[in-house]
Structure 1
Amino acid sequence: MMNKIKYLLLITLAACSLHVRAQNIFPVKLDNCSASHFCLDCGNPKAGYDEAAFAALLDKLNEELNLTGMHGDVMFQVLVSAKGRGCVLSHTDISDNPVTAKIIAALNKFKKWTPAISKGKIEEKTSINLLFTINDNKITGQIQRVNMADFRKSFDRPADPEIYNKTYQYKNENLKNYTITSWTSGNSTLPNNMIDHITIDKPGLIWLTVDDGLVTFDGKEFKNAEQNITPKGKAFSYYALATDNQNVKWVYGTRNIYSYDNTKWTRYDAAEIGIDGAYNIINNPTTGEVFFCSDEGITIYKDGKWSNINKSQFKDLSSNRVTFARRDSKNRLWIGTFSGTAMIDENNKMTNFEKTATVLKGKCITSMDEDENGNLYFTLFEYDKGEKGKINADEGIAIRNADGSFKQFTTDNSGMPFNHTTCVLYDKKEKVLWISTDRAGLIRYDLKDNWENYHNKNSTIPTSYISTMVFDNNGVLYLATRQGLVKVERK
């Protein structure tokens, strides 16, 4: 047994808003919690625990553990549910000491957590940090509250690439053909470098979610563009963004869906539309539908009317917790849920890919694009990893050829530098795929055998963390990153 448990001060969360997607703050990431969005140490009162019950937990650990000769600190990130259950998401002990495993087991079994409350409503899930200290043969523990100002500041730095493919030789012969322009808070009026979502409207105005705020960019100046019909308060953030065929902007803010018709903002009553939030908002240009992906399935807006697709209509759908949905050119609806992928064909018949032997089994699609020949391209998320905590999971991208055959590309069989991808776009002008990642930067794949990888160590892209991508009306590629806005333009 090691005589010291390491405490790491470096926090590696990939998002720093109060409400974030399921992210692990600390280096040792666990994958045994059911989490999508959660609130980061928010609320009034904040999440916590019953003091007497937690003291009893510590007493039991001290009775059961042999702490002789041990000293040190370990931080644990715990997800607290509305029902008072807890689950450890990550921790700082990179040595994986058996004592740490015992603490994790005790925290996961503890049933006296108290959920956070915001504006009188119990938060569904909240992340809090606990510091455990071993000294003088005794273990103590307490909550360490998050200082959001310091927390945000700690992330305003470039993320260096993590290349997991150790065999492919990246020549990057096409890099010289692109002009890469970056806008950051240091060289422009961008208020913050943390960009998660991007959409470009019909006239070409760029809309961005920047940290907690909503910002527009006309190519010269960034301006605040937040809705003005709801007081934001201390815990207001924007999480999803899209532009529909009528140039209406759709936004998910804290517990509200909004639209902006370029004149006024409209807020939609959750009781009327059936949702008060969304993981993703996706416009379907060919059908005029706007999809809102949430825990209630797919909520659809079209021609002023709202409808839903969920397990009540399609019992074979793996889950109502939908993170992505989009139609292809044949009007087939592709759906990514946190329990697998499904497709509803043009005859309204569903295929649940969990019941197939294709590469989509065990995967959730998280983005999709299509080329002029009907080939489909997907980014993948392995929702039930065989090896818990594995970073470079069995994900990558999948290609569904027009004949119905599938192929998956990962670091094992291609030039993919890292398997967790955030977006895939088909470039109709160059006939190549652009793939973004949150650890290895930008990938250019020519659909033959040439893979290129651009990041902050070999190009002027300022970071290896890319949240998502979009083309403008002229086919110019824009990257939403954690180090500002980036434009990649063919010379």
Structure 2
Amino acid sequence: MKNTILILLTVFSLSLNAQNIFPVKLDNCKTDKFCLDCGDVKAGYEEQEFLKLQTKLQESLNLTGIKGAVKFQVLIDSKGEACVLSHTDQSKNPISLKIIEELDNFKKWTPAITAGKKEEKSSITMIFSINENKIIGKIERVDISSFKRSFDKPTSPEIFNKTYNYKNDHLKNYKITVWNAKNSNLPNNMNDNITVDKNGLIWLTVDEGLVTFDGKDFKKAEQNITDKGKFFSYYAIASDNNNVKWVYGTKNIYSFDNTKWTKHDSTEIGIDGAYEIINNPKTSEVFFCSDEGLTIYKNGKWSNINKAKIKELPSNRVTYAKRDSKNRIWIGTFSGTVMIDENGKATNFENTSTVLKGKCITSMAEDENGNLYFSLYEFERKEKGKVNNDEGIAISYANGIIKQFTTENSGMPFNHTNCVVYDKNENVIWISTDRAGLIRYDLKDGWENYHNENSDIPTSYISTMTLDEKGNLYLATRQGLVKIEKR
């Protein structure tokens, strides 16, 4: 199983997960996770059957006087079925629409294969050229190295809130330090997952790698019990109460006890991957969120929560889960959010009128008063293609009231958030986004927004973040590792 959130959470690992790469995006594909032109054997088509498709287009289209080319991103699943994700023709020309129709209906695609197994979903680029009344289609393979390099540069922040005045009065109180591939021995700048262990050592996933950071040097921390082959990467990480590191690597769950690595048999634990791995300090549980529900590890034993056991669970596809101080488990799925209380009673928020209806929680933090903070994803979006959706953050107060904060009613600069962290030392919520940088909210009425155009933070894209025991905030970004500490 591969990690995706990526698309759903607009966070993607360039080696593994991808997004719609062309400007005209279509909504006819399920794109929760897929890889970009991946595989030992890449996805393609049966040549003779594709020639028939090309001939059909040639005979059915009027190509007189037309010259040009259009690129199509095609998603191919393990069964050889496909759909068009995106393309380059912003004019909605009938020829492009006809090509899309034929590509969607074509039944002779061949799936990508990695290590002898078919990839669940892979996207390829097709280019159709028209010249001298002839149409020719072919695959244009993606140069992954060039594609990665295109993302190794900061993008300008996109601030959708045009009414809030960001004074950023507290920015001067922070020292911001950045480690990247140019000023340190960090292997590359593509950092997506981070945890801090009991020794204060930072564990960081980098593109196709895993490193530790002691404040001075980055060191490789690769698992050494599985042959990496042509491709191996890491997609989720957490450190538990016993200082054991839990990692999802390609097709396997691993643990590291600071002496040796252990690979956990998927037939025994019930999963071969995870969207997120979350440690619960008060209960010594480690949560693994996957397509098989919520898998729980505690005291050497594995258990699972799924729809067969909890009928109120909206879906087995769990993207995030965490236990709060009242012993309640909050679970975000791709079909909604559920809360299981201390007595085992489950509440499906799709059956409520709260702001969590239609939302999937993607991270959670709690303050000393029992107030909960959630980042949200709107899984059934009312407007297809809309960027600033009905998301933002939600606060579930200790008295049971749940309130949502968006660009419409607060100082949120952008509504899609990746992570929320509560800083008890300052009594603030830190919120990361993938377009507007970092948000500081003082829980009253003070909203601040830091990004690469008004601070030393090198990017507007922040994947996730964590606090160490000293209260320093670390950001995993696409421009390296960032540390924010109080002066």
- Does the alignment reach a TM-score above 0.5? yes
Task: Find out whether 1:297 has 2:297 as its counterpart.
Answer: no
Of 158, 168, 173, which residue of structure 2 is paired with 1:177?
173
Looking at structure 1, the residues matched to 259 and 15 of structure 2 have their Cα atoms a distance apart, in angstroms, of: 29
Aligned length: 478
Amino acid at match of 2:14: S
Matching residue of 2:240: 244
| Matched-pair contact (CA < 8 Å) for 1:19–1:37 | no
Q: CA deviation at 1:14?
A: 6.0
Of 423, 437, 462, which residue of structure 2 is paired with 1:441?
437
Looking at structure 2, the residues matched to 405 and 136 of structure 1 have their Cα atoms a distance apart, in angstroms, of: 66
Amino acid at match of 2:228: K
SS at match of 2:193: strand
Matching residue of 2:409: 413
- 1:177-256 map, 5 Å: 177-256=173-252
Looking at structure 1, the residues matched to 351 and 64 of structure 2 have their Cα atoms a distance apart, in angstroms, of: 52
Matching residue of 2:479: 483
| Matched-pair contact (CA < 8 Å) for 1:366–1:422 | yes
User: Where in structure 1 are there 5+ consecutive unaligned residues?
Assistant: 1-12
| Matched-pair contact (CA < 8 Å) for 2:126–2:138 | yes
Looking at structure 1, the residues matched to 27 and 367 of structure 2 have their Cα atoms a distance apart, in angstroms, of: 35
| Matched-pair contact (CA < 8 Å) for 2:246–2:253 | yes
Amino acid at match of 1:396: G
| Further displaced range: 430-439 or 35-44 | 35-44
Task: Find out whether 1:17 has 2:14 as its counterpart.
Answer: yes
Matching residue of 2:43: 47
Looking at structure 2, the residues matched to 28 and 282 of structure 1 have their Cα atoms a distance apart, in angstroms, of: 36
Looking at structure 2, the residues matched to 76 and 153 of structure 1 have their Cα atoms a distance apart, in angstroms, of: 21
Matching residue of 1:135: 131
SS at match of 2:192: strand
SS at match of 1:84: coil
Matching residue of 2:260: 264
Q: Deviations over 1:220-268 (max 9, x none)?
A: 0011110011111112111110000000000000001000000000001
Amino acid at match of 2:15: L
Looking at structure 2, the residues matched to 409 and 71 of structure 1 have their Cα atoms a distance apart, in angstroms, of: 49
Amino acid at match of 2:272: D
TM-score w.r.t. the length of structure 1 is 0.94
| Matched-pair contact (CA < 8 Å) for 2:67–2:132 | yes
- 1:112-191 map, 5 Å: 112-191=108-187
Matching residue of 2:4: none
Amino acid at match of 1:172: N
Looking at structure 2, the residues matched to 333 and 32 of structure 1 have their Cα atoms a distance apart, in angstroms, of: 34
Looking at structure 2, the residues matched to 166 and 140 of structure 1 have their Cα atoms a distance apart, in angstroms, of: 46
Percent identity, please: 71
Looking at structure 2, the residues matched to 293 and 136 of structure 1 have their Cα atoms a distance apart, in angstroms, of: 54
Q: Deviations over 1:386-430 (max 9, x none)?
A: 222222121111111112122111122221111111101111111
Matching residue of 2:70: 74
Looking at structure 1, the residues matched to 394 and 298 of structure 2 have their Cα atoms a distance apart, in angstroms, of: 30
Task: Find out whether 1:88 has 2:84 as its counterpart.
Answer: yes
1:167/1:318 Cα in 2 relative to 1: closer, same or farther (>3 Å)? same
Looking at structure 2, the residues matched to 14 and 26 of structure 1 have their Cα atoms a distance apart, in angstroms, of: 17
Looking at structure 1, the residues matched to 400 and 68 of structure 2 have their Cα atoms a distance apart, in angstroms, of: 56
SS at match of 2:308: coil
Amino acid at match of 1:381: Y
SS at match of 1:430: coil
Amino acid at match of 1:222: F
Amino acid at match of 1:117: I
Looking at structure 2, the residues matched to 94 and 288 of structure 1 have their Cα atoms a distance apart, in angstroms, of: 52
Matching residue of 1:274: 270
Looking at structure 2, the residues matched to 384 and 67 of structure 1 have their Cα atoms a distance apart, in angstroms, of: 39
| Further displaced range: 456-465 or 123-132 | 123-132
1:373/1:75 Cα in 2 relative to 1: closer, same or farther (>3 Å)? same
- 1:360-439 map, 5 Å: 360-439=356-435
User: Where in structure 2 are there 5+ consecutive unaligned residues?
Assistant: 1-9
1:138/1:419 Cα in 2 relative to 1: closer, same or farther (>3 Å)? farther
Looking at structure 1, the residues matched to 13 and 69 of structure 2 have their Cα atoms a distance apart, in angstroms, of: 24
Looking at structure 2, the residues matched to 201 and 244 of structure 1 have their Cα atoms a distance apart, in angstroms, of: 8
Q: CA deviation at 1:35?
A: 2.9
Matching residue of 2:28: 32
1:117/1:302 Cα in 2 relative to 1: closer, same or farther (>3 Å)? same
1:326/1:276 Cα in 2 relative to 1: closer, same or farther (>3 Å)? same
Q: Deviations over 1:166-188 (max 9, x none)?
A: 22221111111111110000101
Looking at structure 1, the residues matched to 379 and 21 of structure 2 have their Cα atoms a distance apart, in angstroms, of: 19
Amino acid at match of 1:437: T
| Matched-pair contact (CA < 8 Å) for 1:197–1:468 | yes
Q: Deviations over 1:142-175 (max 9, x none)?
A: 1111222222222211122111222222111111
Matching residue of 1:4: none
Looking at structure 2, the residues matched to 291 and 256 of structure 1 have their Cα atoms a distance apart, in angstroms, of: 15
Q: Deviations over 1:44-100 (max 9, x none)?
A: 321112223323333333444444554333222222111111122222334444443
Of 469, 474, 482, which residue of structure 1 is paired with 2:465?
469
Matching residue of 1:8: none
| Matched-pair contact (CA < 8 Å) for 1:433–1:444 | yes
Matching residue of 1:6: none
Amino acid at match of 1:321: R
Looking at structure 1, the residues matched to 396 and 134 of structure 2 have their Cα atoms a distance apart, in angstroms, of: 57
Q: Deviations over 1:314-362 (max 9, x none)?
A: 1221111111011111111111111111111111111111111111111
Say what the alpha-carbon RMSD is for the aligned residues. 1.7
1:15/1:337 Cα in 2 relative to 1: closer, same or farther (>3 Å)? closer
Looking at structure 2, the residues matched to 348 and 483 of structure 1 have their Cα atoms a distance apart, in angstroms, of: 43
Q: CA deviation at 1:38?
A: 2.0
Of 441, 445, 448, which residue of structure 2 is paired with 1:452?
448
| Matched-pair contact (CA < 8 Å) for 1:80–1:126 | yes
Amino acid at match of 1:17: L
Matching residue of 2:341: 345
Matching residue of 1:319: 315
Looking at structure 2, the residues matched to 398 and 306 of structure 1 have their Cα atoms a distance apart, in angstroms, of: 31
1:386/1:100 Cα in 2 relative to 1: closer, same or farther (>3 Å)? farther
SS at match of 1:181: strand
Amino acid at match of 2:156: D
| Matched-pair contact (CA < 8 Å) for 2:15–2:207 | no
Task: Find out whether 1:103 has 2:99 as its counterpart.
Answer: yes
1:402/1:101 Cα in 2 relative to 1: closer, same or farther (>3 Å)? farther
